[in-house]
Amino acid sequence: MNVVIAEDDFRVSSIHETYVEEMEGFDVTAKALNGKELRASLEEHTVDLILLDIYFPDERGTNLMKHIRNQYPDIDIIVISASDRRDDLLVAKRYGVYDFLVKPVTKNRFQAALRQYKEHRSWFAQPSTFSESDAKRFLTHTGQAFSEEVLPTGIDSITLNKVAGALSRASDGLTIEETCRKEGISRTTARRYLEHLVASGKAKTQLSYGVIGRPERKYVLTSS
């Protein structure tokens, strides 16, 4: 994915470039120190994602959001700014900004946001249907969404959302083995994440008797 870093502090821009380049699947196509340079970069390059600051010497990032949405509707935006103004957050929400990171941003938070963005972009590229819980997760933030900061050691939000998403699409629930096959993870990993969902009240277990009568432990998302 081609990334443009729009940041008026060249030192911060260089740090963010390093963070991006460490991640597989991302390439920094251009950097812009102001609104004029960003507009020029969008005309010259094919861009998938903009890491956008709010404060520039020539115009505010909120004004640039409008330009981006009108002229480049397929480009995604992640805001990285020192602004904590609610009106800036509201504008970002209305223009479909994917995430809003408030400076100073740690490397872990920065890269976690990009990992989740990559995961969600991949999910939307699949030709399959979606469930109501998927709509809640992506549009209202009331579905199965998990914050990196509140998760225990050994549990990351990307894999947890993948496992929860698999459960949401399985009306009869999933066994550990079925989760392994669907998500391409090991049995140990599947068990750890499924049991975490149970412990946090997001899922429950039930016994399902197969053809030969041997009971299987299945995991099902709760309705809450």
pLDDT score at 31: 97
Phi, psi angle pair for 22, to nearest 5°: -75, -15
Q: What is the pLDDT of residues 2-48, one digit of tens each?
A: 999 999 999 999 999 999 999 999 999 999 999 999 999 999 999 99
Whether the Cβ atoms of residue 31 and residue 42 lie closer than 8 Å to each other: no
pLDDT score at 166: 86
pLDDT score at 151: 67
User: Helices 187-199 & 157-168, crossing angle to 10 degrees?
Assistant: 80
Q: What is the pLDDT of residues 55-74, one digit of tens each?
A: 999 999 999 999 999 999 99
Q: Map out the domains of the chain with their CATH numbers.
A: 2-124 (3.40.50.2300), 128-221 (1.10.10.10)
Whether the Cβ atoms of residue 6 and residue 63 lie closer than 8 Å to each other: no
Chunked in runs of 10, what are the mean pLDDT values of the chain (224 residues)? 96 96 95 97 97 96 96 96 93 94 89 90 87 76 49 78 84 89 89 89 80 75 69
What string of DSSP letters covers 3-45? EEEE-S-HHHHHHHHHHHHTSTT-EEEEEESSHHHHHHHHHHS
What's 220's DSSP letter?
E
Whether the Cβ atoms of residue 184 and residue 205 lie closer than 8 Å to each other: no
Whether the Cβ atoms of residue 182 and residue 163 lie closer than 8 Å to each other: no
